[in-house]
Amino acid sequence: MAIELKVPSVGESITEVQIGDWIVPEGQSVEKEGAVVVIETDKVTVELPAPEAGTVTRILKKKGEKAAVGEVIGYLENGAGAAKGKAKAEPAAPAKPEAKKAAPAKAAEPRVMPSARRAMHEKGLSTGEVEPSGPGGRVLKEDVERAAAAPRPPAGAAKAASDREEDVVPMTPLRKRIAERLVQAQATAALLTTFNEIDMTEVMALRKSHQEAFQKRYGIKVGLMSFFVKATIDALKLVPQLNAEIRGESIAYRNYYDIGVAVGGGKGLVVPVLRDADRMSFAEVEVAIADLAKRAQENKLAIEELTGGTFTISNGGIYGSLLSTPIVNPPQSGILGLHAIQDRPVAREGQVVVRPMMYVAVTYDHRVVDGREAVTFLKRIKECVEAPARMLLEA
């Protein structure tokens, strides 16, 4: 019996989605609850599970096409019906020997396992670039990882004329939304950035002395983000303008602290939110961020986890950025940018010493925040991070 594959409801305000990769193409089978197709929105990416075990018999909406919530995008033949249909199709093949003759001219495309297909999509690889090693010539996730790690031809290598091609793909809803919000921020807010630098000696020493015990207890390493989240909350309490937003002709000052932490997801940069971060311990912050980052990579964040932040922290240092001017995430009034830690010579008590230093930046909406307040905010973060024991005592 044919089962309709319909676009699920993925959020209260979302009425249209974009079709992503079909993890299970036409003619391939899937287990019950197995992922069939990727559904993309401007906030989250979800996988549509198979309601029953069976075979995908028809795809109505291809990758990149749009579909309404509740719309049928394909059909699944379940259980015995799928097997029966397949059995009927196979004996019919010998009736056309001509078709069999022509078949060797085109190599059969290897079967790509669902996890491998997702990995190929994330790493930008095609089936032809991956050497299958699974049973029956199947492409496994390990094959994709091996192909991604293999050296690519150097940029200056000679190329055939056929290499000068363009791969034009639809912009994902998430990328569209990111673009819209960045343009919105630049067009509607009076953005300004101020900078400072932080001596990371004490934080790094504290992490080193407690790393083993922390990892044994919580199963993850203690990172830098928990220190900056706590320092940010301390600074926001001192300078509440950076935790506010403009609403029409009014300014709303929030006395709660929902801190957004920018992380790289499978489809691009996303900003999951730590709700009531001021009530969380250092360990709870680290565990929560690790969980959000993991699920962001797997495109498993819920819409509620990506909305409603009051302030954002973005760490470009994990990618090697030394200095940048982050853009405010509207309708917020500020964003803190963290950068790479580098050993640099600095003056301490009349002596030149080498210390691990980090540049930090805060971009703020000048309509709400004055320059003095932005500088005070950043200086407070510097004071907190350079004396982390004080934060621990006051937490």
The DSSP bridge pattern shows strands 259-265 and 311-315 to be parallel
DSSP letters along 58-80, please?
EESS-TT-EEETT-EEEEEEEHH
Across the strands, what pairs with 345?
354
Q: How far apart are CA 163 and CA 160, in angstroms?
A: 6
The residue type found at 43 is: K
The DSSP bridge pattern shows strands 351-365 and 191-199 to be antiparallel
Q: How far apart are CA 51 and CA 65, in angstroms?
A: 22
Phi, psi at residue 244, to the nearest 5°?
A: -110, 175
Q: How far apart are CA 312 and CA 327, in angstroms?
A: 10
Instruction: Read off the tokens for 159.
Output: 């190329």
Q: How far apart are CA 33 and CA 11, in angstroms?
A: 20
Contact between 301 and 272 under an 8 Å Cβ cutoff? The reply is yes
From 210, 276, 291, 370, active-site residue: 370
The answer to whether residue 234 is catalytic is: no
The residue type found at 179 is: A
The sign of the dihedral angle between the CA atoms of 202, 208, 214, 218 is: positive
3-state SS, one letter per residue, for 112-171: ECHHHHHHHHHHCCCHHHCCCCCHHHCECHHHHHHHHHCCCCCCCCCCCHHHCCCCCCCC
From 210, 276, 291, 366, active-site residue: 366
The answer to whether residue 370 is catalytic is: yes
Q: List, by residue number, the catalytic residues.
A: 366, 370
